Structure 1
Amino acid sequence: MKMLEDLSLAPYMTFQTNKTRPIHRWFFYKEGYAPEIVEYAVRREGLCCSDNMLLDPFCGVGTSLLAAKGMAMRGFGIDASELAVFVSKTKCANYEKTDLAEIRDFLNAKHGQKEPTIKWDFELFNPRAAFPKRNFNDILSLREEIESAHCGEKAKNLLLLALLSILPQTSIIVKDGGVLKIDKRKRAMPAREAFRRRLKQMIDDIEHQQFFGPEPVVELGDARRLNFADEIFDIAVTSPPYLNNVDYSKIYGLELSLLSLSGETTKETRKKLIRSFIKGAGDDDYVPKEVEELAARLPIVGTYFADIERALSEINRVLKIGRSAYIVVSNSVIFNEHIAVDEILGQIGERLGMECEIIVGAYRIADVKPQRIETRESVVVCRKI
């Protein structure tokens, strides 16, 4: 298996550059990557027209799908998280002037200060503890006002996305690795002011930066069991959950529970996710032979790569012959042991009959006291042959 370097990709292996990029910036998702990765993959494959179909079976907040739309390609996204599907659909929709007029009407309306009646439950703690009292009440009031707003579905989705996106800056929560911590020293921005600012930013992005194109199909589903016919996709660009100690259903649990207004949503979502975090190891008997020795010491490694193999097998099934999957991964350090995720993924792909290579995009230092271990962030390219 060939391994090569392209360190020009380094700035794009994370979500950082998206923080200032119109539309992409509507919802911060630390675990994402930049659209340049998608553009790089599409150029490398020589794809260019609206007849081409792109798949992202771990679509997250829609980076691949939004990039595909910008290149006039038809995008198809799957995710196990209701939050991810909602964010992706909202970011990738085409908006008309009437949608923006409805947003402005909502902003200009005189909303009463009545006590909110909806309940917000979260699995880990009472959401009330995560916000200053006024912000908590304002967020619930806004959620209720959006629910009853007299506007179309697209405008309502924009309003709700704006509200979900401001939870980090209006709370006293700090996302510390895989943990949500309450930090009473943190200054929380007033919720209604943050909401208004975010909506104005979204309106500006749509008016000046929106590109009309084919709206992608985004569905709730499981990458291990794709509901697509064989050999229909021209390319897949995706990034599965990283092998680490981050439970994504908890880290974005406040946003997910406010979206669904159900305290059970995070638990239900966790059952459907790729098992990538240390406490997610299950009782699955199957362990890919590439990690049998590692899995004996670290059971989550066997669980994770069993799920990844099932997903890669499905990607291979739905790709056209001669077409490739570009899979963004990061190597991991678990209990001071370095896991070469890119190499193992490539080896599994080759066993499945694919032709694989690794493009190293960046090197990072994992500060795992008392050690500092160099790890890679890579794009694993698996071609169906």
Structure 2
Amino acid sequence: MKERFLVQGGASLSGVVAVDGAKNSVLKLMAAALLAEGTTTLHNCPEILDVPLMRDVLVGLGCDVTIEGPVVAITTPAEVSPHADFDAVRQFRASVAVLGPLAARCGEAYVALPGGDAIGSRPLDMHQSGLEKLGATTHIQHGAVVAKAEKLTGATIKLDFPSVGATENIVTAAVLAEGRTVLDNAAREPEIVDLCAMLNSMGARICGAGTSTVTIDGVERLHPTQHTVVGDRIVAGTWAYAAAMTRGDITVTGIAPGHLHLALSKLKVAGAEVETYDSAFRVRMNNRPKAVDYQTLPFPGFPTDLQPMAIGIATIADGASVITENVFEARFRFVDEMLRLGADANVDGHHVVLRGVEHLSSTDVWASDIRAGAGLVLAGLVADDVTTVHDVAHIDRGYPRFVEKMRELGATIEREKER
């Protein structure tokens, strides 16, 4: 049965909130466990819906997976099935992360085209092209991407765009390839660094993670390991923008502030006080935010996953803002829901112009993806009455204990079944 959130406007959030491991990392780390026979254990895992979904994918491939709170243990057998279960894979995008490990470990992979958030086209052409450079053949057949390779061999690969998913699949295939792979224009996200750190602890030889050129010297085999998942910078950024929008005071722990440098800098320009520590930061806002322009770009640019929060703060800012989306073309579906709340917004291609209003007006809104759902809750906090956010299963896929943490910070929010 579907659920919804009832969000009371007028709250000012304050307190301390801890960030769990990153959704955009843990699922890829679970997939990478396919590369080594034995038990790989992950710590600081977020308790979100996508973790058991990835468990189902791995179990379908022959693994034994146990989840005990923030600890996930994946036992990979000597023989892994190359066929990823269609029903499980189609439920979320990150399932495609098994493509590289299966191609490397089995010499073949059959992975259903993944599902996930409705934020625009996310083709697999760069994933396929990268694997082909390593010596595989790939094609789409009966709704699945098929890759086959008798032997993977290192190559020089340049991505047309620093795709996170393509970088992950190429790296996880190249670690067991023969020879050296040089990946240019690689994604630089902290989650890529986290993946490469775990792979190196498994015996891989990867240099340059976090830069645009990653070098991988293939090894014959990897061994299982233990690894602690990096903190979730998108969840941390959500709390930061919640503090600024509600004129609150929130300290966020469990995150490297450098992973959110630009997002926090934008809040300073908007008038917030921002203090950073080794693994935490504090955001305080006393007045109405000032209007700030944003454009989303791959890391270290402003994250596309925080674009709904940028729109949210712009809707109530003093002045006009322009938000430019350069990553996912359909992400402005969120604007339609903000218009329901009384935002003054006009979309023009991949730009949206927002003229701030002092308060939003509460109504019913629908989440189209994880981040849009969280953004709508933040908008509800600055509306005049009770806002009902529908389809909140999206939010549960990316935000552990979201309602409980909101309440601990002073929000009035209820979860209830849809009638």
Question: Structure 2-normalised TM-score?
Answer: 0.28
Greater share of strand: 2
Select the structure that is richer in helix: 1
Q: TM-score, normalised by structure 1?
A: 0.29
